Amino acid sequence: MKPNRKGTVIWMTLLTFIFLYIGCQNEVGAGPPAPDFSLKDINGHRVTLGEHLGQVVLVDFWATWCPPCRKSIPELVMLQKEHKKKGLVILGISLDDPMQTSNLSLQTFIKDNHINYPILRSNQKTLKDFFGNTRISIPTMFIIDRQGKIKDKLVGFRPGSLENKLKTLL
């Protein structure tokens, strides 16, 4: 019995279409999963990203010596105050060198700037997980949805842009 060439072509075309259709579907809200981390805050307590699953998380990579980072702090404080009840969590990850900026100095900076969200100390693994081999620019903020997916990455400080990006998730 000879194979039916026309039937084979039709089946192959149909299978190809099915695989392409399934492979190209992009659910609303889909994005790469945010890498989990376990970092110490300036009081020595461990904080993980995973413990905030179900909340909208803004991860801010910053440093005290960075002028745009310092300019972004009042907006972050305001966002945390206004949207905490809606499920917003801001986690500041300090890139300050602990040998140059002690936890005590960082605590003073937090108090002087009225920072109302946790400040964590970075480590090489977390930087590698979030930035890969690319050059790190700060401030860099990652917006993570309630399912733990990265929704956006903002490099630099642009007043007002964060609230607009967060509105759809909150």
What's phi and psi for 18, nearest 5 deg? Answer: -60, -45
Collect contacts of 81-85 with beta carbons under 8 A, ≥24 apart.
81/116, 83/56, 83/166, 83/170
Strand segments (E) across the chain = 38-40, 46-48, 56-62, 88-94, 119-121, 140-144, 150-155
Domains of the chain are 38-167 (3.40.30.10)
Pairing state between β 140-144 and 150-155: antiparallel
Place of tokens 């700060």: 138
Band of pLDDT at residue 6, cut at 50, 70 and 90: low
The pTM (predicted TM-score) of the whole model is 0.80
Peptide bond into 98 cis (omega under 30): no
pLDDT digits (tens, 9 = 90+) for 58-99: 999 999 999 999 999 999 999 999 999 999 999 999 999 999
